[in-house]
Structure 1
Amino acid sequence: MLTILDKYILKRYLSTFTVMILMFIPIGITIDISEKVNKMIENKVPFSAIAQYYLDFTIYFANLLFPIFLFLSIIWFTSQLANKTEIIAILSSGISFTRFLRPYIIGATFVSIFALLMGFFLVPKASDGFKNFRYMYLIGNGQNEMRDNSDVYRQINKDEYIYVSNYNSASKMGFNFSMEKFENDKLKYKVTANSIKWNPKDSSYTLNNYTKRKVGPLGDIIETSQKKDTVFKFDLEDLTPVVYIAETLPYNKLLRFIEKERQRGSTNINVYLVVLYKKYSIPISAFILTIIAVAVSSMKRRGGMGINLAIGILLAFAYVFLDKVFGVLAEKSTYPPIIAVWFPNIVFGILAIFLLRNAKR
């Protein structure tokens, strides 16, 4: 059951965090508009698209900067409590520092659950709208930049492999297509074509300059055709997924997408895994950053709130720096994504334990 003290601190925790977000998001929107307004006017972007973009922008960046907002808001109102000697009065009444932390942990639980649900359902949709707008209106015509569309070689199941040298998303057409079928590690047949085009009406493919070579024990059988319509068990567009596709998928679809890409031997699998693991690491960071913020700001300092805020800003940006560096390291190297994503939480978790022990003293 919550006491008056719990309700008082919990109210300050949640309200300060909310106000911090509401203060900084308009600033971010203003800066973004000032940078992109000329491009929007030049491309004659509809007002409805701009309004939707900034709604997605708000959700996307609130999630992205969530650790900084949370950390600074806790340091802000806890420093106020310390400067007014309210914390000294609370601890002098016989309440332990651990008990004093309880409303903070309850607040962190609310925030982490909200962040988890946002990461699973709301943020993917906002990311999709935000990134699509940027590529459609702000980065040239951008469609090709959204894709890994050159020299795509994929394993589509246990025994079949497919290749296209280039893929055009607008025409749904791939070039220099080949498909190889193996049986007991031996080539059974190979299909090649100058181009392959997806026909959405009947879910078939049209192959131009089609050749199929069946490998036999007594000789190969070659079948050729200038044009051939056929059906395959794959979606050509899946061969060249949007580079940021993982960020735009709800949790269940993301799991299925990662499994499919793993089976196909995708070179971007670490990028997708980083997105998946961050859905869990960001909510957990709420507890770690809450403990650090309370430990840093609960002591009344001679320099007042300025010292606490300076320490808080330094630690918050150190956390974001580690998060970005190890995220890129996992995406661009063979470094295990799960370790890279969780490394900032591990480091700051150890720091939280150390600071908490000193604060108790």
Structure 2
Amino acid sequence: MFTIIDRYIIKKYLGTFGFMLGLLTIIVLVIDVQAKAPRIESNGFTVSEFLVNFYPYWILNLIITFMSILVFISVIFFTSRIANNTEIVAIISSGASFHRFARPYLITSGFIAIMALLLNHLVLPLANTKKNALEPYTYTAVSRDEFTGSSEVSTQLSKTEYIFLKSYNKKEKRGSGFLYQKFDKNHRLIYQLNASEFYWDKTKNQFVLSNYLEKTIKGDGTEKLGNGNSMDKSFGHPPEELFPDVLLGQNKTTPELLQFINREREKGNANLNTYLNELYQRTSMPVSVIILTFLGLSLSSQKKRGGLGLNLALGIALAFVFVFSFEVLKVVSENKTLTPLLAMWLPDIVFGPLALILYFKRANQ
């Protein structure tokens, strides 16, 4: 059963967190809409369309990304206030231990962490699908072309099969300069298919190749040639799976992402760190909610000279270091300097023991 103190702290925690959440949402939304409105309108959309079809999903992604910061600042803010009002001293003087005082912090942070886990693994990917469909139209022209323009693309279908595209437009799912090659176990070319133009036919779930030329190389070295005006060809997966971009991992629920990663490993794809970072961060970030809750409690539960302002300044600095470290470690992992598992858990590994040390130091005072 929750005591009056438990309910009081939980109410303070959730109330402050909700206020911070609402404040961040309003401020960031207004700033972002004003900054991106010219780009949105220059691409043939209206701001109102984006307010309905883009920003609700974008805000959910933003909330999950900065949830650790919001929790940390919220804990420091309301804990510093009750500490300055000597409420913590009164609670502990009544016979309650510091561990007992910290129980509602654990309950509330655990609840938020569980909700964040569910959102990260199952709900956020569905929101990202909506967000990522429109987000390129908020970028600069150069950045937008990476997602909506044409570029040279290559992919590995299996350990012996490759596709090379001289020009491919991801938005229109068509291009030119198609080349498919298949090798035997001795790395000898046994089949090659060229086409001048190609596009993805959604109704057939196949590529349609125009002006194709195919070459089959037999065991004795002789070649069999074939050509035609049109050919339907399936490679087992739609273009989004065959030619994935960096946003694909965000659009998949965790079961789907695991299947995709396993399939890419079977194909021999060694460039999976972007998707592995996404997978591991979905769990490590919610765990950080509990870590930062106890770090914030330990730093702000004593009345200090400088009061709330000093605690908030320290809290904001530490919180941004924590979240910024995730972004830096993503880049380090994608460059294969660290494994994705270590990179995405390293902030928790560093801040977790720090939070424990400070917590027990505070509890024993």
TM-score, normalized by length of structure 2?
Answer: 0.90
Q: Say if 1:153 and 1:164, in contact at 8 Å, map to a contact too.
A: yes
Q: Say if 1:82 and 1:297, in contact at 8 Å, map to a contact too.
A: yes
**Which stretch shifts more, 26-35 or 40-49?**
40-49
Structure 1 residue 145 displacement after superposition: 1.6
| Residues 217 and 63 (structure 1), Cα distance of their counterparts in 2 relative to 1, 3 Å cut | closer
The correspondence of residues 159-238 of structure 1 with structure 2, limited to 5 A, is 159-185=160-186, 186-235=188-237, 237=239, 238=241
2:344 corresponds to 1:336: no
- Whole-Å Cα distance in 2 between the matches of residues 43 and 187 of structure 1? 45
**Which stretch shifts more, 175-184 or 330-339?**
175-184
**Which stretch shifts more, 204-213 or 287-296?**
204-213
Structure 1: any 5+ residue segments left out of the alignment? none
| Residues 62 and 218 (structure 1), Cα distance of their counterparts in 2 relative to 1, 3 Å cut | closer
Structure 1 residue 166 displacement after superposition: 2.4
2:265 corresponds to 1:262: yes
Aligned mate of 1:319, from 322, 337, 347:
322
| Residues 184 and 331 (structure 1), Cα distance of their counterparts in 2 relative to 1, 3 Å cut | closer
| Residues 165 and 261 (structure 1), Cα distance of their counterparts in 2 relative to 1, 3 Å cut | farther
Residues 118-138 of structure 1 deviation map (CA, whole Å, 9 limit, x = unaligned)? 112332233333333231355
- Whole-Å Cα distance in 1 between the matches of residues 308 and 271 of structure 2? 45
Q: Say if 2:178 and 2:197, in contact at 8 Å, map to a contact too.
A: yes
Structure 1 residue 278 displacement after superposition: 0.8
Give the secondary-structure state (helix, strand or coil) at the position aligned to 2:213: strand
| Residues 85 and 260 (structure 1), Cα distance of their counterparts in 2 relative to 1, 3 Å cut | same
The amino acid across from 1:197 in the alignment is Y
Q: Say if 1:147 and 1:243, in contact at 8 Å, map to a contact too.
A: no
Q: Say if 2:152 and 2:167, in contact at 8 Å, map to a contact too.
A: yes
The amino acid across from 1:52 in the alignment is N
1:72 maps to which residue? 73
| Residues 40 and 199 (structure 1), Cα distance of their counterparts in 2 relative to 1, 3 Å cut | closer
Structure 1 residue 195 displacement after superposition: 3.2
| Residues 179 and 138 (structure 1), Cα distance of their counterparts in 2 relative to 1, 3 Å cut | closer
| Residues 350 and 210 (structure 1), Cα distance of their counterparts in 2 relative to 1, 3 Å cut | same
The amino acid across from 1:273 in the alignment is L
1:8 maps to which residue? 8
Structure 1 residue 143 displacement after superposition: 6.1
Structure 2: any 5+ residue segments left out of the alignment? none
1:115 maps to which residue? 116
Paired positions, count:
361
1:105 maps to which residue? 106
TM-score, normalized by length of structure 1?
Answer: 0.91
